[in-house]
Each structure stands twice: as structure tokens, then as C-alpha cells.
């Protein structure tokens, strides 16, 4: 993964360097910057749809803030096998990036971004039991032990998967102007967030499964979880 992002970074840098040689104009000669300091963008991304506000407060530095997600709603992503148990899952995406932008070239929109995501991402699931014959009943295999599902057994099996509340991230991005006045632009961003160890909770509607089995099964999910989350964004922007 490190090599992939390194190559992407080199590619972005080459494109930005080429653009920077073409964007010097009369404003540069007068000493005024050839960029507009504030940019408002509408995004489609791997962190959900969102809005972002950028402030380029100097030639080489800027700040950004935004919000991405489905604003309290969860989306149904269907059945997923998670460490040997199938869950009917729903995903909630919600995060707010706060970051510093670094512009290597004064006359280019290429930037390197370092920051944090205030993270409320959450995955929930309801266990889907399997039919075992014998004994001819629907069951869950929790930590290697078979438990009967349904009202005559342990009831429902519920899973909740939460990422840490703060996730550091790094990315690279740039914008391509769509008009001579440099108001409208199309943007792109590629990066990765370190989400670390998740917090997984398993519970049953009956409370009949020993907590040690639920905790052990939850720990297996935590150990297998990815510690990184990809960031890929495209945006339509207005600068002023």
C-alpha cells in the first residue's frame, strides 16, 4: 500500500509541476497571488457525500474543514460473513475532517494534506443463523460453541462495530480550473486514514450466552479488522 501511495504522490507532483508552469499570469508579476483564498466544494467520496471549505491563507499553507456521511442515516449493505458468522449489516458513515494543507508550489493547486477525521463510522448487524441437521434447528457458532437461535434458544445475535473517534489521515489532491476567472474547478483527492483498533460488541436478546464467549467472538472480529481506511474523493468547487 505504501508503494501505491508513493507512486500516486509522484504522479500528482508531476502533473502539478506541469500545471504550475502554465498558470503564471499578470497577477503574479504584480505580486498578487494567482489563486482565490476560499473554496467551497461538494464531494462524492469513500467517506460518504459531503461538503468542504478550504482557506489558502498563504502561498504554501491552507486549512480545511468539512463533513462527510449520510447525516444520521444507515445504509443496508446486505449479508456479510464476519469471522464465520453471517450478519445482515447496516453501515453508518459520518466523519468531519480537520486538516492542514501544504502547497509545494505557489502557482499550483496541488497540495499535501495532513489532519484528523472526527469519526462516527459504525457497522451494525443482526446474526443470520445456519440450519444444522442434526439436531434439526437453526444455530449460531459463537466462539466454537453451537447455540440454538430463535425464541426457543438465545434469541437474536446483535453485533456493533465502532471505529475510534479520532483517526489521523494523510492525502494528496489538486483542482483543475474550469474557467479563466478560476471560480469553478474539478477536484480530486487520494489518501488513507489510520482507524486503528475497533470496538466490537456482541449481545443476544435473551442474555443466555456466557459473556466470555461473546467477548471472545468479538475479539476475533477486532483482530481481523483493517486498521486503515482509504480516502478517495472527487469534488465540484467554487472559489472566491
Supply the pLDDT for residue 85.
96
* Mean pLDDT, residues 102-116: 96
Whole-angstrom Cα distance, residue 48 to residue 96?
Answer: 11
DSSP state of 105: S
Q: Could you write out the DSSP letters of every residue in 3-72?
A: HHHHHHHHHHHHHHHHHHTT---HHHHTT--SS-SEEEEEEEETT-SEEEEEE--SSSEEEEEEEEE-TT
Supply the pLDDT for residue 134.
83
* Mean pLDDT, residues 11-24: 43
List the chain domain ranges: 54-239
% of the chain beyond a pLDDT of 70:
87
Q: What is the CA radius of gyration of the chain?
A: 24
Q: Which tens digit of pLDDT belongs to each residue from 175-202?
A: 999 999 999 999 999 999 999 999 999 9
Q: Which tens digit of pLDDT belongs to each residue from 112-152?
A: 999 999 999 999 999 999 999 888 899 999 999 999 999 99
- What's the pTM value of the predicted model, to 2 decimals? 0.79
Class of domain 54-239: mainly beta
Cell 443476544 identifies what position? 204
Q: Of 23-32, 34-43, 80-89, 95-104, where does mean pLDDT reach its minimum?
A: 23-32
Whole-angstrom Cα distance, residue 236 to residue 25?
Answer: 24
| Pairwise pLDDT comparison (231 vs 21), residue with the higher score | 231
Amino acid at each position: 500500500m505504501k508503494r501505491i501511495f508513493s507512486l500516486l504522490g509522484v504522479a500528482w507532483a508531476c502533473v502539478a509541476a506541469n500545471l504550475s508552469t502554465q498558470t503564471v499570469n499578470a497577477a503574479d508579476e504584480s505580486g498578487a497571488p494567482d489563486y482565490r483564498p476560499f473554496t467551497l466544494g461538494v464531494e462524492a467520496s469513500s467517506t460518504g457525500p459531503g461538503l468542504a471549505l478550504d482557506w489558502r491563507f498563504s502561498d504554501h499553507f491552507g486549512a480545511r474543514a468539512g463533513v462527510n456521511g449520510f447525516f444520521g442515516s444507515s445504509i443496508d449493505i446486505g449479508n456479510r460473513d464476519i469471522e464465520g458468522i453471517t450478519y445482515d449489516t447496516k453501515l453508518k458513515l459520518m466523519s468531519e475532517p480537520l486538516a492542514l494543507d501544504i502547497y509545494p508550489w505557489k502557482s499550483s493547486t496541488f497540495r499535501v494534506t495532513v489532519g484528523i477525521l472526527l469519526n462516527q463510522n459504525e457497522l451494525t448487524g443482526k446474526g443470520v443463523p445456519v440450519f444444522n441437521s442434526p439436531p434439526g434447528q437453526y444455530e449460531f457458532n459463537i466462539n466454537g460453541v453451537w447455540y440454538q437461535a430463535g425464541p426457543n434458544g438465545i434469541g437474536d445475535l446483535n453485533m456493533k462495530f465502532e471505529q475510534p473517534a479520532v483517526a489521523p489521515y494523510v492525502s494528496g489532491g489538486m483542482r483543475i480550473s474550469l474557467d479563466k476567472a478560476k471560480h469553478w474547478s474539478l477536484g480530486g483527492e487520494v489518501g488513507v486514514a489510520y482507524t486503528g483498533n475497533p470496538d466490537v460488541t456482541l449481545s443476544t436478546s435473551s442474555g443466555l450466552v456466557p459473556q466470555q464467549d461473546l467477548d471472545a467472538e468479538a475479539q476475533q472480529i477486532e483482530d481481523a479488522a483493517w486498521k486503515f481506511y482509504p480516502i478517495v474523493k472527487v469534488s465540484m468547487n467554487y472559489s472566491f
